[in-house]
């Protein structure tokens, strides 16, 4: 095939343009420090780079979630600590009401302090986060969790039991909040018995909780939410001065019996039973009260109301016992919540560190795929510059030829 001048000219020009493209590509790669400008440069590498970048973005989002969850839980931990301190102060004041030297004015002064603590707790239990949502309303974070029902005089919970799960990694999520219902609104009221009824010839009886912890254990093991009759107990007296404590109208197994001495209390699983007119055939009947729930706000309100009503003696002592036990139960709930938060914060810290390790490894892998070694980039740039100079020189010789060069 005969090669014409035009063909040589065109080939030389194409060679220059092609080398210029390569030089430009080498220059761009060096400036951007990448081996892949377009997918055409390395289809397989480009696909891997896209996948690795997606992993990096996902892990960055996990780290953002970790930070948000940690901030929320740390705020809740701070609020719980303040609540716990307020409860401790309330307990000290409640116990001081039993001081026999205090008169009604002294007790009312304590009642005012308890009212201040109740208001402080109300504010803490309605605390908002940095975004304006209520910490303890569950999923209903735009609803104030606690409010006072003016009709009943009781503080009520308005949220739900929701816990917001936050994804910390591909396989691990964690609750970033706790509902006020589970922490503050499920406090057991003091376990008690009903007022006793008597059967002749017994004329009067009194059943009190003498040892609360012993009775609490008995109550938890024996209260029957299905068969109401199993919560009924009777002290049955027989000749000459014996008694038996029956359950649901029948002797217990093994039988619970004893000898009654007039003027002395009968003790039974933390209860003290005082009887007047005990004689054969007489009975004292009482039942375990159904369990009830309350919250610390209502506990303090009931005690404050008793103080303001001028209660004293046994009536006030019962309110003091109620409040002391319920404050202890509420404090235990807060302690449990704080322990749970501490555990979750430990998980967050661990996962955050693991995610950082994953980020470092993924970014390193991506760098191996797409980043250009500087010395390699310089070498390629010099190579393409030299190649361009060579083809330009060749092009100059081709375009400088005349007819006489072909005649020779």
**Residue 218 above 70 pLDDT?**
yes
Mean pLDDT within 343-368: 88
**Residue 240 above 80 pLDDT?**
no
**Residue 263 above 50 pLDDT?**
yes
How much is the pLDDT for 75?
97
Q: Say which residue, 376 or 381, is predicted with more confidence.
A: 376
Task: Tally Cβ neighbours within 10 Å of residue 231.
Answer: 20
Distance of CA 96 to the CA centre of its chain: 34
Long-range contacts of 244-249 (CB under 8 A, 24+ apart): none
Task: Tally Cβ neighbours within 10 Å of residue 254.
Answer: 6
CB 286 within 8 A of CB 67: no
> Given the structure tokens 């361009």, which residue do they identify?
388
How much is the pLDDT for 138?
96
Binning pLDDT at 50, 70 and 90, where does residue 40 land? low
Task: Name the token pair of 297.
Answer: 């706000």
- Please state which of the ranges 59-68, 198-207, 357-366, 390-399 shows the lowest mean pLDDT: 390-399
Q: Residues of the chain with pLDDT > 70: what percent?
A: 77
**Residue 11 above 60 pLDDT?**
no
**Residue 374 above 90 pLDDT?**
no
Average per-residue pLDDT for the chain: 86
CA–CA distance, 99 with 114 (Å, rounded to integer): 16
**Residue 42 above 80 pLDDT?**
no
Mean pLDDT within 1-8: 52
**Residue 341 above 70 pLDDT?**
yes
CA–CA distance, 405 with 61 (Å, rounded to integer): 71
Mean pLDDT within 313-331: 95
Binning pLDDT at 50, 70 and 90, where does residue 238 land? confident
| Rg of the chain in Å (alpha carbons) | 42
Instruction: Identify the helix (H) or strand (E) that includes residue 45.
Output: helix 43-96
Task: Name the token pair of 73.
Answer: 């839980």
Distance of CA 283 to the CA centre of its chain: 51
How much is the pLDDT for 57?
93
**Residue 245 above 90 pLDDT?**
yes
CB 51 within 8 A of CB 370: no
CA–CA distance, 15 with 158 (Å, rounded to integer): 79
Q: Say which residue, 198 or 22, is predicted with more confidence.
A: 198
Domain ranges of the chain: 56-189+296-357, 197-289
How much is the pLDDT for 152?
96
Partners of 355 in the β-ladder: none
Burial annotation 125-155 (CB, 10 A radius, 16+ → b, else e): bbbebeeeebbbbbeebeeebbeeeeeeeeb
Q: Say which residue, 96 or 12, is predicted with more confidence.
A: 96
Task: Name the token pair of 179.
Answer: 């509902």
Binning pLDDT at 50, 70 and 90, where does residue 404 land? very low
Distance of CA 43 to the CA centre of its chain: 46
Instruction: For 267-293, give the DSSP string.
Output: EETTEEEEEES--TT-EEEEEBPPP-E
Q: CA-based angle 146:151:156, to the nearest 5?
A: 20
CATH of the structural domain 56-189+296-357, one choice from 3.30.70.330, 1.10.260.40, 1.20.1330.10, 1.10.510.10 = 1.20.1330.10
**Residue 106 above 70 pLDDT?**
yes
- Please state which of the ranges 69-73, 278-282, 320-324, 333-337 shows the lowest mean pLDDT: 278-282
Mean pLDDT within 277-288: 89
Binning pLDDT at 50, 70 and 90, where does residue 209 land? very high
Long-range contacts of 268-272 (CB under 8 A, 24+ apart): 269/214, 269/215, 269/218, 270/209, 270/210, 270/211, 270/212, 270/213, 270/214, 270/215, 270/216, 270/217, 270/218, 271/193, 271/207, 271/208, 271/209, 271/210, 271/215, 272/207, 272/208, 272/209, 272/210
- Please state which of the ranges 135-149, 243-257, 394-408 shows the lowest mean pLDDT: 394-408
CA–CA distance, 140 with 159 (Å, rounded to integer): 6
Q: Say which residue, 14 or 241, is predicted with more confidence.
A: 241
Mean pLDDT within 13-33: 55
């Amino acid at each position: 095939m005969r090669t014409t001048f035009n063909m040589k000219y065109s080939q030389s020009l194409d060679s220059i343009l092609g080398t210029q493209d390569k030089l430009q590509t080498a220059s761009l790669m060096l400036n951007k420090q990448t081996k892949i400008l377009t997918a055409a440069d390395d289809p397989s590498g480009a696909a891997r780079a896209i996948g690795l970048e997606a992993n990096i973005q996902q892990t960055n989002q996990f780290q953002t979630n970790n930070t948000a969850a940690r901030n929320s839980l740390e705020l809740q931990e701070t609020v719980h600590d303040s609540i716990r301190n307020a409860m401790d102060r309330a307990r000290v004041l409640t116990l001081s009401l039993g001081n026999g030297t205090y008169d009604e004015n002294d007790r009312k002064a304590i009642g005012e302090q308890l009212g201040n603590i109740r208001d402080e707790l109300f504010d803490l239990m309605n605390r908002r986060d940095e975004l304006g949502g209520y910490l303890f309303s569950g999923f209903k974070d735009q609803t104030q969790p606690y409010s006072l029902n003016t009709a009943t005089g009781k503080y009520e919970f308005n949220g739900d039991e929701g816990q917001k799960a936050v994804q910390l990694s591909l396989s691990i999520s964690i609750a970033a909040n706790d509902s006020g219902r589970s922490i503050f609104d499920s406090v057991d009221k003091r376990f008690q018995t009903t007022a006793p009824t008597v059967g002749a010839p017994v004329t009067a009886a009194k059943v009190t909780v003498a040892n609360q912890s012993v009775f609490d254990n008995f109550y938890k093991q024996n209260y029957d939410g299905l068969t109401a009759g199993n919560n009924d107990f009777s002290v049955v007296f027989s000749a000459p001065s014996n008694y038996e404590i029956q359950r649901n109208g029948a002797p217990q197994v093994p039988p619970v019996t004893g000898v009654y001495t007039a003027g002395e209390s009968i003790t039974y699983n933390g209860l003290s039973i005082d009887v007047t007119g005990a004689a054969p055939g007489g009975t004292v009947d009482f039942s375990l009260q159904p369990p009830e729930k309350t919250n610390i706000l209502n506990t303090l309100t009931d005690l404050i109301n008793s103080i303001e009503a001028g209660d004293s003696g046994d009536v006030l002592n019962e309110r003091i016992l109620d409040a002391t036990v319920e404050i202890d139960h509420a404090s235990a709930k807060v302690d449990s919540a704080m322990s749970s938060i501490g555990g979750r914060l430990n998980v967050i810290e661990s996962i955050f560190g693991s995610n950082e390790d994953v980020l470092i490894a993924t970014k390193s892998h991506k760098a191996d795929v797409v980043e250009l070694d500087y010395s390699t980039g310089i070498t390629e740039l010099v190579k393409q510059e030299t190649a361009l100079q060579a083809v330009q020189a060749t092009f100059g010789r081709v375009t400088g030829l005349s007819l006489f060069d072909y005649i020779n």
